[in-house]
Structure 1
Amino acid sequence: MFFSELKEEASDIAGCFSSSVRHLIHLHAPNIMQKYFISWSQCFTSNQQATAQECRLLIEYVAMNAIAIRKILKKYDKVHCSVNGRIFKTKMLAEHIELLQSPWLMELGALYINFNISNGRKQVVGGPFSCDLSATEPIMTLTLPDSVKLEYNLV
């Protein structure tokens, strides 16, 4: 019962996150006609900073939920002296529900880095995502609020 409810909650979070990211990316990868209207409207307003902020909020949303699920499973294992939480986490990875392994998170990270670099910064400092393109295999790094670093191979 506990794990089925947690799986449902994790699926809802993953669904909400992926649809929000899809919508955000769609706004910034428009068709030719939309590009024309967007470029024309940007003469009057610039929403690039607002979009970068929305990216950051979505990153924080998924990171906080992933940390919460991880802590819930760890506490479950500790209280029940079991490894069922770890097994459940493995199942989440296999079923592509694990939030921090979502391809949408990587897309969002790339969009976040792109917005910050296009705002005139040479590199993203203090943000949740950073990127090292000079390595033999380019890597994007996500630093979570609890100082955990996740690396995504960009090859």
Structure 2
Amino acid sequence: MKITIVAVGGVRDNDLKKRIQQYSRRLSVYCRIQLIEVREEKTREVQGLSEQGRNLEGARILSHIGDGDYVIALANEGHIWSPRMLSNELDRLVMEGRSQITLVMGGEHGLSAEVLERANAQLAICQTAFPHQLLRLVLMERVYRAFQCSLGEPIHRMGKNKNG
């Protein structure tokens, strides 16, 4: 299985970049993983300008999506998927013979209508709002945990010791 994450904008924080790279290496044991960053539009929140920027970003995102890709859009309106639910979804897709999953993340103004229409499913990471760049790390962690669930591996909580 190949998983591609297409995200608007780059990650500027070096610690965050390192953590994303760590999860990318961990995921490479389970699947081929590719991270694609598309250019973010710098638009002000003026009527029409944020939608125009969202549409330009959407066109860039769509240029990286193949006809046979199963597309999951990260959207606030999406269903909240736990790692177990995401694991079940990935298992279902494998059983259907799907080998290319593309996860898309919009910029600060969200995803264009065209990207949402192209998506096969919409995913919300959780009800808590995350800063856009941190969301990429959270997504990588969720996908990693989903593969662990799928293979019956124990999920270790990071930062917990033996006593708690």
Q: Give the TM-score taking structure 1 as reference length.
A: 0.29
More strand by share: 2
Q: Which has the larger radius of gyration?
A: 1
Which fold has the larger relative contact order, with Cα–Cα distance below 8 Å and residues 6 or more apart in sequence?
Answer: 2
